[in-house]
Amino acid sequence: MINNDTADIFKAESIQDFIDNATIGIHSVDGTGKIIYANKAELKLLGYDASEYLGRNIQDFHADKDSIENIFLKLTGVSEVKEHPAKLICKDGSIKHVLINSSGYYQNGTLIHTRCFTRDITEHFKDKSALKESKVNMRFMADTMPQQVWTARPDGSLDYVNKRVTENFESSVEEIIGEGWIHFVHSQDQDNCIERWKSSLQSGEPYQVEFRLKVNEEYRWHLGRAIPLVIDGSIVKWFGTNTDIHEHKVSEEKKDAFISIASHELKTPLTNIKSFVQLAKRTIEPSGKAFEFLTKADNHVLNLQNLISDLLDVSKFNAGMLTYNFSDFNFADLVSESIEAIKPGLTTHKIILENHADVIFNGDRFRIEQVIANFLSNALKYSPDADTVIVRTAIEEGNIVVEIQDFGIGIPEEHLSKIFERFYRVDNTSMKFQGLGLGLFISSVIIKRHQGSFWIESKPGAGSTFHFLLPLTLSQPDLDIETDNETFYKSDFIDIKYNNELKQLDVNWTGFQNIDTVKAGGMVMLQLLKFNGCAKVLNDNTFVKGNWSEAADWAGQVWFPMMEEAGLEVFAWIYSPITFSALAARKSVNVMVGNVVSRFFTSTQEAQIWLSSYTGSPGQKKG
Ligand code: ATP
Ligand code: MG
């Protein structure tokens, strides 16, 4: 491998051996460009025998002639070292991408030879060009989509929009990216849009908002959605779409406008009918058949009135026009009055009242009465074979908690989380019992407006208990916090400890939870998990008191991926005894993105045994 003329360059045999067998390619050329030395790695890299390589001009092996000038001709000083990219031609005709590190040796100002170290970067180059190709493909795909597609930096400023956006806005990319997009949002929707975007940026929660965008000089309704890409526990990018929902939105508005007008028009004649029925009742004997018929007619008119006012409320809510009048009132009095109001027409059931909420509450009296009436009318309607409904009110942890219990048909578990949706009715009841499926939807809207929440315990055949909670003072930051920011954190609703012996986080949730407490607690867990580099969590919900947490989607799609990035592998979850809370826990695992292994338990001991013995078997993905 060594040219006889230049054998004296390598004095010591051991050095020559070292260079010959080095894993990096080494070759040397003389002042004229003739190759005078190449080691084994160099020959192997290009696939030549020594006889095919040595003695030839280096130019023959360079696919890009410009790089030769950089590597060999621009050397000036004696010990100058440079690294240049080059493409070398292999024996089989393929090209190797290399970096050549060259140094020139001069005698009396004349270049005697150049030594080169050849580093193969073909794979890296392939990766880079594959990345470039996939970027080009992604952009092409995004440009062919009928929706507006965009990406944003973690601070919320847009850094990419697809072709559809520039076409719709008739503007350049530069005018839209950064903060420019907001000028294309209808002025009435801008505040809500910015507020929601900021709140998503802060919480990492998927962003979803409806707004009007100026498309070719016309404002059209769009549904904007975005989800964050989380790497190493931090958001690195947001991916979003805006979908045109204008036609659908306009037809919904038309439908609501129709319902609203129709209900209004129906109200007046109905009030007249009711007045005449009552007048008629006064003119006849209460013991006769006619009186009985008129009483029945009266009840049906009342049902119709309630139905119409529900429809009207829903159309008002959809149009954002459901109004509230807040005032102070005694809560226990309101509950008693609501019950008294329905008692006269009640022949089938007795209502037992355990009223312990003798406090002043600030809220909309009429609307809260509507909630109680809805829960009560359901309890009575869906327990035709029972004779009792129990209403309990209490003050717990600064909240009013109301329970309405019946001993009726009950609700199968799979329907529990859905019955608060608009027009949702459990199939087997819809034929037997009258209703539109609006009462619980309207109640949930009213409760939420008072920053409250609701949950249900139910057993088919045994009955249901509906609960709702109203905070006496509106949410305040939790002030009673104890923490060292490293190994423990304790507040009114969560207790987190890093267990150094078992290398796990021990987490206990207590009391009523809502979306805010779940998110706040979740983020502290993330911080402590990261700090202590642990992979296991024992999450105990035994002392959670009811509630359906709307944070289930956030937990599954945002929080679990962040926890996984931070090192979480196993999550043992001890159920809350409250069905609704357990449903929320299951939902977050069902929508979970990622590979965290999670399992549910009813006992802390069993959960601990599983967690301690867990070594990671692939069949055990989700609980
Ligand atoms: P309306 O609009 O007149 O209230 P509705 O009673 O059907 O009609 P919701 O009050 O919203 O509507 O209740 C939704 C569904 O939930 C009901 O159709 C019923 O299937 C179920 N449901 C509600 N309360 C109970 C209950 N106490 N027991 C059993 N099922 C119930
Ligand atoms: Mg109802």
Could you tell me which residues come within 8 angstroms of residue 219 by beta carbon, excluding any fewer than 6 positions away?
186, 212, 213
Alpha-carbon distance 409 to 459, whole Å? 8
User: Are 512 and 547 contacting, i.e. CB atoms less than 8 angstroms apart?
Assistant: yes
Class at the top of the CATH hierarchy for domain 327-471: alpha beta
For 457-490, how does the pLDDT look when each residue is reduced to its tens digit (9 = 90+)?
A: 999 999 999 999 999 986 555 567 899 989 999 9
Statement: residue 112 has pLDDT above 90: no
Fold of 4-120: Beta-Lactamase (3.30.450)
> In terms of residues, how long is the chain?
623
Please identify which residue in the block is written with the tokens 């000038």.
Answer: 69
A 10 A CB-CB count for 96 gives 20
Which ligand has an atom closest to residue 437 CA?
A: 1
Angle between helices 331-342 and 365-381 (to 10 degrees): 50
Q: Is the CB of 313 under 6 A from ligand 1?
A: no
Q: Is the CB of 260 under 6 A from ligand 1?
A: no
Longest dimension (CA), the chain: 136
pLDDT band at 126, cuts 50/70/90?
Answer: confident
Backbone angles phi, psi at 367, to 5 degrees: -70, -40
Question: Rounded mean pLDDT of 9-34?
Answer: 81
The CATH architecture one would assign to domain 482-613 is 3-Layer(aba) Sandwich (3.40)
Tell me the CA end-to-end span of the chain in Å, nearest whole number.
Answer: 64
Nearest Cα neighbor of 537 from 512, 508, 511 is 508
Which ligand has an atom closest to residue 432 CA?
A: 1
Sheet containing 536-544: give its strands across: 482-483, 488-490, 494-499, 504-511, 536-544, 570-574, 597-601
Best-predicted range by mean pLDDT (26-30, 382-386, 419-423)? 382-386
pLDDT at residue 409, as a whole number: 95
Question: Rounded mean pLDDT of 258-277?
Answer: 88
pLDDT band at 3, cuts 50/70/90?
Answer: low
Q: What angle do CA 450, 542, 590 make, to 5 degrees?
A: 75
pLDDT band at 32, cuts 50/70/90?
Answer: confident
Statement: residue 337 has pLDDT above 70: yes
Q: Is the CB of 205 under 6 A from ligand 1?
A: no
Q: What angle do CA 465, 466, 470 make, to 5 degrees?
A: 140
CA dist 445 to 21, 113, 139, 415, Å? 77, 84, 41, 19
pLDDT band at 12, cuts 50/70/90?
Answer: low
Tokens for 353, please give them: 């009242």
Alpha-carbon distance 179 to 169, whole Å? 14
pLDDT band at 1, cuts 50/70/90?
Answer: low
Which ligand has an atom closest to residue 422 CA?
A: 1
Tokens for 185, please give them: 């949002």
Strand partners, 244: 222
Question: Rounded mean pLDDT of 234-251?
Answer: 92
**H, E, C per residue of 444-465:** HHHHHHCCCEEEEEEECCCEEE
Could you tell me which residues come within 8 angstroms of residue 479 by beta carbon, excluding any fewer than 6 positions away?
none
Statement: residue 137 has pLDDT above 90: no
User: Are 233 and 207 contacting, i.e. CB atoms less than 8 angstroms apart?
Assistant: no
Give the Å distance between the CA of 309 and the centre of ligand 1.
Answer: 17
Strand partners, 360: 330
CA dist 389 to 255, 377, 405, 432, 576, Å? 37, 10, 6, 20, 26
Statement: residue 415 has pLDDT above 60: yes
Sign of CA dihedral 339, 344, 345, 348: positive
Tokens for 180, please give them: 């420019």
pLDDT at residue 13, as a whole number: 66
pLDDT at residue 609, as a whole number: 95
Tokens for 133, please give them: 């190709």
Ligand 1 atom closest to the Cα of residue 409 is: 29
pLDDT at residue 480, as a whole number: 76
Tokens for 41, please give them: 């790695």
pLDDT at residue 80, as a whole number: 56
Give the Å distance between the CA of 187 and the centre of ligand 2.
Answer: 38
> In the chain, what are the helix, strand and coil shares in percent, each to the nearest 5?
45, 30, 30
Backbone Cα Rg of the chain: 37
Q: Is the CB of 464 under 6 A from ligand 1?
A: yes
Fold of 126-244: Beta-Lactamase (3.30.450)
Tokens for 409, please give them: 């048909």
Alpha-carbon distance 525 to 555, whole Å? 12
**H, E, C per residue of 73-119:** HCCCCCCCEEEEEEEEECCCCCEEEEEEEEEEEEECCEEEEEEEEEE
pLDDT band at 263, cuts 50/70/90?
Answer: confident
A 10 A CB-CB count for 263 gives 20
User: Are 50 and 37 contacting, i.e. CB atoms less than 8 angstroms apart?
Assistant: no
Alpha-carbon distance 346 to 339, whole Å? 10
**H, E, C per residue of 461-511:** CCEEEEEEEEECCCCCCCCCCEECCCCEEECCCEEEEEECCCCEEEEEEEE
Question: Rounded mean pLDDT of 317-346?
Answer: 90
Percent of the chain with pLDDT over 70: 93
For 91-108, how does the pLDDT look when each residue is reduced to its tens digit (9 = 90+)?
A: 988 888 898 888 877 777
pLDDT at residue 200, as a whole number: 87
pLDDT at residue 22, as a whole number: 87
pLDDT at residue 281, as a whole number: 92
Nearest Cα neighbor of 332 from 259, 401, 420 is 401
Q: Which of 308, 313, 349, 378 to mutate to test the pocket of ligand 1 (most atoms within 8 A of CB)?
A: 378
Nearest Cα neighbor of 595 from 620, 573, 616, 621 is 621
User: Are 540 and 508 contacting, i.e. CB atoms less than 8 angstroms apart?
Assistant: yes
Statement: residue 422 has pLDDT above 90: no
pLDDT band at 611, cuts 50/70/90?
Answer: very high
A 10 A CB-CB count for 123 gives 9
Could you tell me which residues come within 8 angstroms of residue 387 by beta carbon, excluding any fewer than 6 positions away?
348, 349, 350
CA dist 460 to 241, 463, 550, Å? 42, 6, 25
Q: Is the CB of 411 under 6 A from ligand 1?
A: yes
Please identify which residue in the block is written with the tokens 């709702």.
Answer: 468
Nearest Cα neighbor of 579 from 395, 456, 450 is 456
pLDDT at residue 82, as a whole number: 65
Alpha-carbon distance 468 to 444, whole Å? 9
pLDDT band at 621, cuts 50/70/90?
Answer: very low
Mean pLDDT computed over every residue of the chain: 88
Q: Is the CB of 371 under 6 A from ligand 1?
A: no
Give the Å distance between the CA of 410 and the centre of ligand 2.
Answer: 14
DSSP letter string, 225-250 = EEEEEEETTEEEEEEEEEEE-HHHHH
Which residues have C-beta under 5 Å from ligand 2, the single-atom ion?
Answer: 378, 439
pLDDT at residue 619, as a whole number: 39
Alpha-carbon distance 471 to 223, whole Å? 32
DSSP state for residue 34 in the 8-state scheme? B
- Which has the higher per-residue pLDDT, 586 or 507? 507
For 495-532, how does the pLDDT look when each residue is reduced to its tens digit (9 = 90+)?
A: 999 999 999 999 999 988 888 889 999 999 999 999 99
User: Is 49 strand, coil or helix?
Assistant: coil
User: Are 525 and 491 contacting, i.e. CB atoms less than 8 angstroms apart?
Assistant: no
Q: Is the CB of 244 under 6 A from ligand 1?
A: no
Nearest Cα neighbor of 210 from 195, 200, 226, 225 is 225
Q: Which of 304, 372, 376, 382 to mutate to test the pocket of ligand 1 (most atoms within 8 A of CB)?
A: 382
Angle between helices 246-283 and 289-318 (to 10 degrees): 160
pTM listed for this prediction: 0.67
